[in-house]
Amino acid sequence: MSQLSLRGVRKSFGALDVLHSIDVDLDDGGFLVLLGPSGCGKSTLLNIIAGLEPASGGDVVIGEKRVNDVFPKDRNIAMVFQSYALYPTMSVRRNIGFGLEMRGMPEKERNAAVQRAADLLQVSHLLDRKPGQLSGGQRQRVAMGRAIVRDPELFLFDEPLSNLDAKLRVEMRTEIKRLHERLKTTIVYVTHDQVEAMTLGTKVAVMKDGYLQQLADPQTIYDEPANMFVAGFIGSPSMNFLDATVVGGDEGPVLELSDGQTLKPSPDHRSLLSGMTGQKIVAGIRPEAVSMDGNGSTLSGIVDVVEPTGPDTMVVMNVGETPVTVRLGARDRPLVQSTLSLKIRPKAISLFDPETTLRI
Report the pLDDT value the prediction gives residue 274, as an integer from 0 to 100. Answer: 86
Cross-strand partners of 206: 35, 214
Helical pair 107-121 and 92-102, crossing angle rounded to 10 deg: 130
Task: Give the Cα separation of 21 and 45 in Å (integer).
Answer: 11
Cis peptide upstream of residue 237 (ω within 30 degrees of 0): yes
Nearest CA-CA partner of 134 in 123, 149, 150: 123
pTM of the predicted model as reported, rounded to 2 decimal places: 0.89
Do 95 and 216 fall within a single domain?
Answer: yes
User: Quick one: 95 and 227 in the same domain?
Assistant: yes
Please check whether residues 214 and 313 belong to one and the same domain: no
Task: Indicate whether 1 pLDDT > 70.
Answer: no
Decide if pLDDT at 2 tops 80: no
* Segment 278-296, tens digit of pLDDT: 999 999 999 999 998 888 8
State how far the Cα of 326 lies from the Cα of 299, in Å rounded to an integer: 11
With the C-alpha atoms ordered 89, 92, 95, 98, is the resulting torsion angle positive or negative? negative
CATH number (domain holding residue 301):
2.40.50.140
In a domain, 358, yes or no: no
Average pLDDT of the chain, as a whole number: 92
As a whole number, mean pLDDT of residues 289-306 equals 93
Number of H helices and number of E strands within the chain? 9, 20
Model confidence pLDDT, tens digit, residues 330-350:
999 999 999 999 999 999 999
Same domain, 220 and 80: yes
User: Given a cut of 90, is residue 102 above it in pLDDT?
Assistant: no
Q: Does residue 218 share a domain with residue 250?
A: no
Sign of the CA dihedral with 79 first, then 92, 1, and 217 last:
positive
Q: Which tens digits make up the pLDDT trace of 165-208?
A: 888 888 889 888 988 988 888 999 999 999 999 999 999 999 99
Same domain, yes or no: 48 and 188: yes
